C-alpha cells in the first residue's frame, strides 16, 4: 500500500512538472516570452487594382528590438504597416502578431497591445497637450488618472507646456505629443512611419532619445521607418531593407556593422597604370569610377599604396580611408537586386 502511495505521488509530481512546462511554453508562444519574434510575415502579398505592391514579404521583428525599416518612397513600408495594424487586408499570405495568425479571432484582443502613427498624427490644434490626451481617451475608451496624464507628458518631455495650445507647438513637439497619445494604451509594440520627417536637428535628437528610452526602460518593441538613415543607424537594433515591395534583406545592427566595409579611396590621374600597380600589391577587391577614383576594400596600408603608385609614375591627388554607410549598403543591395 505504501509503495502504491509513493508511486502515485511520483506520477503526480511528473504530471505537475509536465503541465507547468506546457504552460510556460504556451506563455512563450502566445503572450510573448523571451527570444521570440513579435511579428512574422509569411509570403505576405497586397495588390491594388491588380498591381502587386507587396510581393511575398517575409519579415521577422524580434521582441524588445528597434526595427529600422528602410526603403525608398513607394517601396511598400506604409502599406505593410497598414496590413499589420489591420487597416488593410492581405491579398494573400499571412502574418502573426504575438504568436497569433491574422485570421485568428483572438488577434483583435492582441491588437490592443499595439499603437501606431502611420502617415501623420491626428491632433486638435485648438486643444492643449493635456486636452488632446483627454480627447484621445474618449475616442479609445481608455480613462487615465490626472497623475497618469502628467506622467505621460513628462515621459515625452512636454510637462512644462501642458497648457499650451498645440497650434503653437513646433513640429518636434507635435511628434512627441503624438507618441504620448500612442502610449495611452500602454503598448508593447509601436509602429512609427517616418516620424523624423521635417524635424530640425534638435527635434530629431529629442525624438531619437525618447524612442531609445521607451525601448530600453519600458520594453516597447518599435518598428520605425525613416529616410534619415544616419539617425536610424544610432538607434536601430536590427534592419529590414525593402525595395519595390520586396524584402531584400534582414540583418541585426551588429551584422550590418560588420558588413559595412572599410575602404581606402585613392584619386589618381592614370587609372590604367594605377590598376596594374595595385595588382602587383596583390590588391584585387576594388572599384574604379570614371572620375579617377579607386575604392580599395582589401586590407592594405596607405603607405604601401602610395609607394606603389608613385613608383609606377601615377600622381595621387587625394587619398583617405572611409567606411560604408547604411545608405551605401542599401543602395548596393538595390543594385545587386536588379
- Provide the pLDDT for residue 119: 67
Interval 81-113: pLDDT, tens: 999 999 999 999 999 999 999 999 999 999 999
CA gap 3, 14 in Å, rounded: 17
Which numeric CATH code is attached to 262-324?
3.30.70.100
User: Which has the minimum average pLDDT: 68-72, 286-290, 309-313?
Assistant: 286-290
- What is the residue whose three cell numbers read 580599395? 296
pTM attached to this predicted model:
0.76
- What is the residue whose three cell numbers read 503624438? 178
Interval 171-189: pLDDT, tens: 999 999 999 999 999 999 9
Per the prediction, the chain carries an average pLDDT of 87
User: Which has the minimum average pLDDT: 1-5, 104-108, 258-262?
Assistant: 1-5
- Provide the pLDDT for residue 262: 82
In eight-state DSSP terms, residue 93 is E
39-258, what's its fold? Answer: Rossmann fold (3.40.50)
Q: Which residues contact 210 (CB under 8 A, 6 or more apart)?
A: 155, 156, 157, 176, 179
CA gap 305, 212 in Å, rounded: 42
Average pLDDT in the 294-322 region?
Answer: 90
pLDDT tier, 295 (very low <50, low <70, confident <90, very high otherwise): confident
- What is the residue whose three cell numbers read 505576405? 44
Is the CA virtual torsion 179, 181, 186, 187 positive or negative?
Answer: negative
Interval 10-35: pLDDT, tens: 444 444 444 443 433 333 333 333 45
Q: Give the CA diameter of the chain.
A: 101
Amino acid at each position: 500500500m505504501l509503495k502504491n502511495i509513493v508511486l502515485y505521488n511520483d506520477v503526480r509530481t511528473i504530471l505537475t512538472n509536465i503541465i507547468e512546462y506546457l504552460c510556460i511554453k504556451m506563455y512563450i508562444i502566445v503572450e510573448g516570452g523571451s527570444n521570440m519574434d513579435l511579428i512574422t510575415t509569411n509570403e505576405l502579398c497586397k495588390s491594388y487594382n491588380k498591381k502587386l505592391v507587396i510581393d511575398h514579404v517575409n519579415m521577422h521583428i524580434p521582441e524588445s528590438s528597434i526595427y529600422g525599416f528602410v526603403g525608398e518612397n513607394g517601396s511598400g513600408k506604409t502599406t505593410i504597416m497598414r496590413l499589420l495594424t489591420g487597416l488593410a487586408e492581405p491579398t494573400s499570405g499571412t502574418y502573426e502578431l504575438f504568436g497569433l495568425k491574422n485570421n485568428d479571432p483572438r488577434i483583435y484582443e492582441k491588437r490592443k497591445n499595439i499603437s501606431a502613427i502611420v502617415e501623420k498624427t491626428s491632433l486638435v490644434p485648438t486643444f492643449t497637450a493635456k486636452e488632446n490626451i483627454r480627447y484621445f481617451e474618449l475616442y479609445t475608451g481608455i480613462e487615465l488618472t490626472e497623475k497618469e496624464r502628467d506622467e505621460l507628458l513628462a515621459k515625452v518631455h512636454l510637462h512644462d507646456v501642458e497648457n499650451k495650445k498645440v497650434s503653437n507647438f513646433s513640429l518636434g513637439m507635435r511628434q512627441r505629443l503624438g507618441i504620448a497619445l500612442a502610449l495611452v494604451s500602454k503598448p508593447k509594440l509601436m509602429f512609427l512611419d517616418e516620424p523624423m520627417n521635417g524635424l530640425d536637428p534638435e527635434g530629431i535628437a529629442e525624438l531619437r532619445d525618447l524612442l531609445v528610452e521607451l525601448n530600453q526602460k519600458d520594453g516597447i518593441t518599435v518598428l520605425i521607418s525613416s529616410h534619415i538613415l544616419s539617425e536610424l543607424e544610432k538607434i536601430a537594433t536590427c534592419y529590414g531593407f525593402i525595395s519595390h515591395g520586396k524584402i531584400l534583406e534582414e540583418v541585426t545592427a551588429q551584422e550590418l556593422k560588420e558588413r559595412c566595409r572599410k575602404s581606402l579611396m585613392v584619386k589618381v590621374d592614370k587609372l590604367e597604370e594605377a590598376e596594374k600597380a595595385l595588382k602587383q600589391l596583390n590588391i584585387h577587391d576594388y572599384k574604379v569610377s570614371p572620375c579617377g577614383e579607386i575604392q580599395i576594400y582589401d586590407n592594405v596600408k596607405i603607405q604601401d599604396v602610395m609607394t606603389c603608385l608613385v613608383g609606377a609614375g601615377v600622381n595621387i591627388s587625394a587619398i583617405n580611408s572611409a567606411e560604408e554607410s547604411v545608405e551605401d549598403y542599401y543602395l548596393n543591395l538595390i543594385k545587386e537586386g536588379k
